[in-house]
Amino acid sequence: MSYLNLNKSQAESIAQELNVLLADYSMYYQKIRNFHWNIVGPNFFVLHEKFEDMYNDAQEKVDEIAERILTLRFEPTSNFSDYLKMTNLEESSSELKDKEMVKALLEDHGKLLEQMGKVIKIADEAGDEGTLDLIGGYISELEKLSWMLDAWTMEKVETHKSL
């Protein structure tokens, strides 16, 4: 652990919060798969493709978070039954309408961002630059995705330009 310049207690605290984030991202991944499989209606094509992009990204993040926990020399949680106990997210019905699906994901984004904030706080206190860099990138990506999904849910209001 000396190569990380973190003491075991600091690394353990970071790993614990990363394991919660791992559980959150695992639940998020499965929710997106659910929505990808079950989307119907006029927005099928756009959301089916977008959800696929999103779950591929989430799958990559699951792996990166687990590897960061291993880098800290702790064990990533790997059983879904444990994820269900740890996660800040909830399962969703397969029968939601398109906008309900997107709004459910936006709610999850808020919870993911909150958990990432917890990771950032303890990683910053410990001087863990590797975790800060990893999670900082996730935050900016998720904020941008959230903006885009939120914009998709809005109704366009016509405005007239003054000449």
pLDDT-based confidence at residue 54 (cuts at 50, 70, 90):
very high
Region label for 66, one of left (φ > 0), alpha (ψ between -120 and 50) or beta (otherwise):
alpha
Q: Is residue 162 part of a domain?
A: no
Q: Is residue 136 part of a domain?
A: yes
- What is the Cα–Cα distance from 90 to 64, expressed in whole angstroms? 22
- What is the Cα–Cα distance from 150 to 106, expressed in whole angstroms? 7
Q: Is residue 159 part of a domain?
A: no
14: CATH: 1.20.1260.10
Count: domains in the chain: 1
Stated pTM of the model: 0.93
Residue 156 reports pLDDT greater than 90: no
* Average predicted confidence (pLDDT) for the chain: 95
Q: Is residue 163 part of a domain?
A: no
50 CB burial (10 A radius; 0-12, 13-18, 19+): buried
Q: Is residue 26 part of a domain?
A: yes
Give the residue numbers spanning the domain of 83.
Answer: 2-152
Q: Specify the amino acid at residue 160.
A: H
